[in-house]
Chain A
């Protein structure tokens, strides 16, 4: 299995801050990396696919980068509605899809 390791597991930030979340794969996954946002009681929402492509309707303050084993999700200016948990997910191994453990973004 491809293990996905996210860091940090949680962070505190203020509105307007620049926030960076990292995701590391245990082996190369090219750019088969997706990012999701999940709010309490809701299904996850796809933000970024293919490591850096913004899903339709997602604000441009969200961006993704990376390839191979190391990836980053950046929120350029944190907004009140961005406080949530974020997950990375690899789709390189489509017969064994795996998620990162999640990063909870909380209000400082």
Chain B
């Protein structure tokens, strides 16, 4: 059964770059889309972007200028980079598989504060 484990820095200053990793265990990256999704405190879910196993990406237009999703197939990991963060980027960030998202990572709270 596929399991996603995510990690990365949880406290950033404004203008820094958010970097998160999602490890895929018990399965392959092949044949699926892999997404990042976030949830600001007390708010709903926002799709950030996705990548397929070949590395082809799609991004939320509202974040596209700052987002990069990439992959390391040798480690079965994929990554989120979000540049020039502000307080508005404070959220729990999730990784997930597929277009009907399942499974999900456990979530990483990222706080942006000076």
CB distance from A33 to the nearest CB of B (A): 9
Is there contact, CB below 8 Å, between B105 and A43? yes
A102 to chain B: closest residue by CB: B44
| A89, B101: Cβ atoms closer than 8 Å | yes
Q: Which residues of B contact A15 (CB under 8 A)?
A: none
- B72 vs chain A, min Cβ distance (A): 23
A contact residues around B33 at 8 Å (CB): 94
Least Cβ–Cβ distance between A54 and chain B, in angstroms: 12
Interface size class for chain A?
A: 20 to 34
Q: Does A107 contact B (CB under 8 A)?
A: no
* B44 contacts A43, C-beta separation under 8 Å: no
Which B-chain residue is minimally distant from A43 (CB atoms)? B104
Instruction: List chain B positions with a Cβ less than 8 A from chain A.
Output: 33, 35, 44-47, 50, 58, 60-61, 94, 99-102, 104-107
Top 10 A-B pairs, shortest CB-CB distance: A49-B100, A91-B99, A43-B104, A46-B102, A95-B58, A97-B47, A34-B100, A99-B45, A102-B44, A101-B44
